[in-house]
Amino acid sequence: MHIVKTVESLCRSVKKIKSQNKTIGFVPTMGALHDGHCSLIRKSRRENDIVVISIFVNPSQFGPKEDFKAYPRPEKKDILLAKKEKVDIIFYPSEKVMYPTGFLTNVHVDEITDRLCGATRPGHFRGVTTVVGKLLNIVTPDALYLGQKDAQQVVVLKRMIADLNFPVAVKVCPIIREPDGLAMSSRNKYLTPRQREGATVLFKSLKDARKRALAGEYNAANILRRMRTAIRKHTPGKIDYIVCVDAHSLIPLKQLKGRVMVVLAVKFGQTRLIDNIIFYI
C-alpha cells in the first residue's frame, strides 16, 4: 500500500495504472474510518483493479462554529485499517496541497444544497462539491463509492457529476449500523453514554415511519408528528429537521408517493447526527 501526499505523485501513479488498462475505484473519506467506510472500500475492492482512498479533513465544508478542529484524526489506525482492507493507495494530502495560496475556485450546485443540511450548514455542500471535483480530477477513477448515510451529499454529488460530465460511475452503498441500529459515523464517538443510548431512537423512528407508510399512512405530517414525539420523548436531542422528501429531487412531500426518503438531523449537545431511510410507495 502506498501513502501519497502530493498531487504530482498521485498523478504519476494514476498514469502508470491507466497505462496498464487497470480500473480505479475511489473512496473519498475524512478519515476516522469505521465499518461504513470499510463497506465502501470492500465494494470498490471487489469491483476494481486498484482501490484509491483519500483521507482529508476538508476545512471548506465545515462552518466557522463546527467541529473542524475537534474532528478525529486517528492517522495510524486509519492506515492500518486501510492496509487490512487491501487499499492500494491512500491519498493523504495536506491543506496546503489541496488549497495552495491563491486558490479562488469553487463548484456549486444550486437549489438542492439550500434545504435539509444545507439550511443549517451554509457553504457545507459548496465545500464538498469543490473538494470532490478536485479529487475526481486528481484520481480520475472509473467508479466513485459513496455512503447512503450522507443522503443529501449523494444527491448533490450525483447532480454535480452529471452536470459537469465527470466521466465516473457513482456507486451508492447502504448505511452500515451499530448492532443497536445507530448509523455508523465518525462523530458517534463525541456522544456521552446517555446521548449514545438516546440516539438509537433515530433509526427506530425511521423504521416506524416506513412501517406506517407501507401500511397506508401517506400523510407526511402524520408520520413526522409521530417521529418528533418519539425523539423528544426518548432523547435530549434537539431536532434540526425531519422531512419526507422525494429521494431524487429532495423536494418535501405532503403526500408520500414514489421513491420516498425520510431524512433527519438531530443534535445531541454539539454533536449533529444524520440518518435516513428510503422506501417505495
Residue 112 as a binder of a copy of itself (CB under 8 A): the answer is yes
Alpha-helical runs (H) found in 140-281: 151-163, 193-198, 200-214, 220-234
Supply the minimum distance, in Å, between the C-beta of residue 122 and a copy of itself: 16
Residue 111 as a binder of a copy of itself (CB under 8 A): the answer is yes
Q: How far apart are CA 110 and CA 153, in angstroms?
A: 13
How many Cβ atoms sit within 10 Å of the Cβ of residue 104? 4
DSSP 3-state of 98: helix
Give residues 146-165 in contact with a copy of itself (rule: CB under 8 A): 159-160, 163-165
C-alpha cell read off for 35 = 465499518
- Which entry of 37, 108, 124, 234 is annotated as an active-site residue? 37
Which CB atom, from 109 or from 224, has the smaller least distance to a copy of itself? 109
Relative to beta strand 143-147, strand 169-173 is parallel
Query: Which stretch in 54-62, 102-110, 199-207, 258-266 sits in contact with a copy of itself by CB under 8 A?
Result: 102-110
Contact residue for a copy of itself among 94, 137, 222, 229 (CB under 8 A) = 137
Angle, nearest 10°, between helix axes 220-234 and 200-214? 150
Give residues 163-222 in contact with a copy of itself (rule: CB under 8 A): 163-167
Supply the minimum distance, in Å, between the C-beta of residue 231 and a copy of itself: 31
Which CB atom, from 21 or from 46, has the smaller least distance to a copy of itself? 21
Give the residue from 86, 78, 2 showing the smallest Cα distance to 42: 86
Q: How far apart are CA 206 and CA 235, in angstroms?
A: 15
Q: Which residues bind a copy of itself (CB under 8 A)?
A: 7, 11, 19, 21, 102-112, 129-130, 133-134, 137-138, 140, 159-160, 163-167
- The set of catalytic residues is 37
